[in-house]
Chains A and B, each alone.
Chain A
Amino acid sequence: MSGQKAFEYYLNSCSDVVVATGLDFTIRYCNNSFCTLTGFSRSELTGKNLTQILDKQNADKLILLKKANNFESFMLDLSIGSKSGKLKNIELRVSSFEKFFLVFIGHDTTAQLELLKEKDEKIKKSDEEKVKSQEILNSIGDGVISVNDKGEVIYVNKQAVTLLGFGGEELIGKLLWKKILMMDEKYQEIEIDKRPIRMALFTRKRIYENFHYYKSKDGRFIPVSITATPLVMHDMVIGGVDVFRDITKEREVDRMKTEFISLASHQLRTPLSATKWFSELIIDDSANLTTEQKELINNIYASNQRMIDLVNALLNISRIESGRIIIDPKITNLRKLIEEVILELTPKIKERKHNVILSIHEGLPDISIDPKLIRNVYMNLLTNSIKYTKEGGEITVMVSKKGEEILSQVSDDGLGIPESQKHRIFEKFFRSSNIIKVETDGTGLGLYLAKAIVESSGGKMWFESEELKGTTFWFTLPLTGSPSKKGEVSIDS
């Protein structure tokens, strides 16, 4: 093989492109790699002007080269149009050789550039996403603080900063529960383990909280509604998000509503008393009335009484809901309390020929509860059983000690609660369809109130029922007694 041939063989087998042109860029020589890259054959390329296969911009770049001095070289990026029309990028070193030739040596960077471009786009896109979600988080009205799995703050939105007064930089990297204090209804600091975000991280459940306060940087207590959500990825808790909003206004509206109900109810009682007393006077002196007139005046009395009951129930509810109610626990003997309730209901029990059984476990300890409130619970449950059980029914009251609680049970073999309405039974004003037919009288507030009382006394209430077979209500009271609460009003004033 001659030196010339060996040289050509070498040029053709190397992966770099090699092109030699005249000073006017007419291709004098190109190697196989260049042919492959452009898709043209060597004969097609030889004699062609290199600028013909370059776009305008690249052609201009080349023209500058004409001024190159001997042996000078440049790095050049060129885009070459291949035969198929596809643009190819090449990075070239251009050398001018003895003022006659220009030699281009380089390699195909198309794939590399595409990869870079893709990467750039990805980065740009993820930056865009980031900006977008930050803008979204900043423009919502709720405060958002997110933490890592340790509870260290990693993000704070604008609202959170505005609400709490802490700058983002003061919070980032700090433990949320150490930096921002949370208070309960009595403005006592809440234990770390009871903080919603911490509970969300540990239990992996979303936690809702409506009764607490965040302490702002300037020491204000801000009532907040909080949703703490754990961030779980591949079954691992990687952090959590605390979303909260200031509910000062809602609280205020709620307070105004309660005050209004209270005031309106008191005002309503005066005409209700007058109607009650005047109809009583007519009923007492009804010797000269016809049977129909007697019936009519009795209806007026009964309807008015129903209105009084409704107003009383509304008042009680507004008291419980407003938290103004006094819980005044006294050591109470439940047997005595229930016996008194049954005694008061005896006329109604006899009228409906029911059999009431009271069973109290021997040695049931006295318990520290507010007798007025708990009496109301037994009264409500028993009144329901009496009203909603067919004549001659059996009603059982059982009280026993179960672990750390006292469990009360009131059961009847009455009308029961329709399956489809069970979930609404503790709703305000709800009365189930089967009892409305039997007994028009009733406010739909009794069970709501009973449950509210039990819960504010530290217990729980639930039931089981089957239509036409009967209903059993249970409620618990902690053996340790109900927590005492200073308030303004009691249940029946």
Chain B
Amino acid sequence: MIYINNMSMMGNLIMVVEDESLLLQAIGKKLQRDGFDVLMCTQAGQAIDYLKTLEDLPDLIWLDYYLPDMNGGDLLDVIGKNEKWKNIPVVVVSNSASDLKVQSLLAKGAKRHLLKADHRLDEIVKIIKTFIGKGAKK
């Protein structure tokens, strides 16, 4: 299911791909509070469908690693191969990652890899803001 919240066309649009519904809920709330528009996806396939149909592409993708249909790395591959999507900054926020995995994610174009439990939402939002193209919207 895809949720669209706060589509005000005023703030930046963040696509969040996270299969844990409670975590997704917390992230969505935080981003909304901070004035972002949020697209919430629980599966990679939904995110791809959305990207295909959306007129305005998201300003950033907040991506979990373990997803029911494919992993974050595979989704990064799909995004990286699409001319229209490849410039969308992706930040991977997951719960575990070996050094090798992180290196491979960064090589596939992820801007950062963050460990969920090690960061407050505040801190993550601060970080993603640094990757959002200034003046694109808002």
Interface residues of A (CB under 8 A from B): 266, 269-270, 272-274, 276-278, 280-281, 284-285, 308, 311-312, 326, 328, 488-490, 492-493
Of listed B26, B30, B100, B117, residue having the most chain A CB within 10 A: B117
CB distance from A326 to the nearest CB of B (A): 6
B97 sits at the interface (CB 8 A): yes
A308 touches B117 (CB 8 A): yes
| Chain A facing B: main interface SS | helix
B20 touches A270 (CB 8 A): yes
Q: Which residues of B contact A490 (CB under 8 A)?
A: 98-99
B115 touches A492 (CB 8 A): yes
B54 sits at the interface (CB 8 A): no
List 6 A–B pairs whose Cβ atoms lie within 8 Å, in order of A's numbering.
Answer: A273-B95, A277-B27, A277-B121, A281-B33, A326-B99, A493-B97
CB distance from A55 to the nearest CB of B (A): 91
A277 touches B26 (CB 8 A): yes
Q: Which residues of A contact B49 (CB under 8 A)?
A: none
A231 to B85, CA, bound (A): 75
B99 touches A308 (CB 8 A): no
B23 touches A274 (CB 8 A): yes
B86 sits at the interface (CB 8 A): no
Q: Which residues of A contact B1 (CB under 8 A)?
A: none
A266 touches B33 (CB 8 A): no
Known: A272-B117, A278-B26. 5 other contacts (CB 8 A): A266-B95, A273-B23, A280-B120, A311-B117, A492-B118
Of listed A269, A281, A493, residue having the most chain B CB within 10 A: A493
B96 sits at the interface (CB 8 A): yes
Task: Scan residues 93-111 of chain B and give those whose CB is less than 8 A from a CB of chain A.
Answer: 95-102
B99 touches A493 (CB 8 A): yes
B112 sits at the interface (CB 8 A): no
B98 touches A269 (CB 8 A): no
In the complex formed, the residue of A with least CB distance to B19 is A270
| Chain B facing A: main interface SS | helix
A270 touches B95 (CB 8 A): yes
Using a Cβ cutoff of 8 Å, how many contacts connect chains A and B? 64
B29 touches A281 (CB 8 A): yes
A270 to B23, CA, bound (A): 8
Which one of B98, B99, B122 lies within 8 Å of A280 (CB-CB)?
B122
Which 9 A-B pairs give the minimum distances between C-beta atoms? A277-B26, A273-B116, A269-B95, A490-B99, A266-B96, A269-B117, A274-B22, A273-B117, A493-B97
Query: Do A280 and B97 form a contact, CB below 8 Å, given A269-B116, A270-B23?
Result: no
Q: Which residues of B contact A274 (CB under 8 A)?
A: 20, 22-23, 26
A137 to B24, CA, bound (A): 65
A312 to B95, CA, bound (A): 11
Which one of B33, B95, B98, B102 lies within 8 Å of A284 (CB-CB)?
B33
In the complex formed, the residue of B with least CB distance to A319 is B98
Of listed A270, A272, A278, A489, residue having the most chain B CB within 10 A: A270
In the complex formed, the residue of B with least CB distance to A493 is B97
Q: Which residues of A contact B26 (CB under 8 A)?
A: 274, 277-278, 281
In the complex formed, the residue of A with least CB distance to B101 is A493
Q: Which residues of B contact A285 (CB under 8 A)?
A: 33
CB distance from B119 to the nearest CB of A (A): 9
